[in-house]
Amino acid sequence: MDTLTSARSAVVRSIDRLSVKIFADGANLADMLELYRQPYIKGFTTNPTLMRKAGVTDYRAFAHDVLHAIPDRPISFEVFSDEFREMERQAREIARWGDNVYVKIPVTNTRGESSRDLVRRLSESGIKVNVTAILALDQVYEVATALTSGAPACVSVFAGRVADTGVDPVPLMTRAVEFLRMAPKAELIWASPRELLNIFQADQVGCHIITATRDVLKKLPLIGHDLGEYSLDTVKMFHNDATQAGFKL
Q: Give dist(CA 107, CA 183) in Å, integer.
A: 16
* Spatial contact of 140 and 179, defined as CB atoms under 8 Å apart: yes
CA distances from 192 to 74, 119, 164 (A): 18, 22, 10
CA distances from 55 to 28, 50, 62, 193 (A): 9, 9, 10, 23
3-245 to CATH, choices 3.20.20.70, 3.40.50.620, 3.50.50.60, 3.40.630.10: 3.20.20.70
Residue 224 has what pLDDT? 86
Residue 15 has what pLDDT? 80
- Give me the catalytic one of 42, 53, 104, 236: 104
Q: At what angle do helices 169-179 and 137-146 cross, to 10 degrees?
A: 20
* Spatial contact of 180 and 154, defined as CB atoms under 8 Å apart: no
Q: Give dist(CA 71, CA 91) in Å, integer.
A: 19
Strands 186-190 and 21-25: unpaired
Return phi, psi of residue 46, to 5°: -135, 175
Q: How far apart are the first and last CA of the chain?
A: 46
Helix (H) or strand (E) holding 155: strand 153-157
Residue 11 has what pLDDT? 62
Number of H helices, E strands in the chain: 12, 8
Whether 104 is catalytic is: yes
pLDDT 10s digits, 29-85: 999 999 999 999 999 999 999 999 999 999 999 999 999 999 999 999 999 999 999
pLDDT 10s digits, 81-95: 999 999 999 999 999
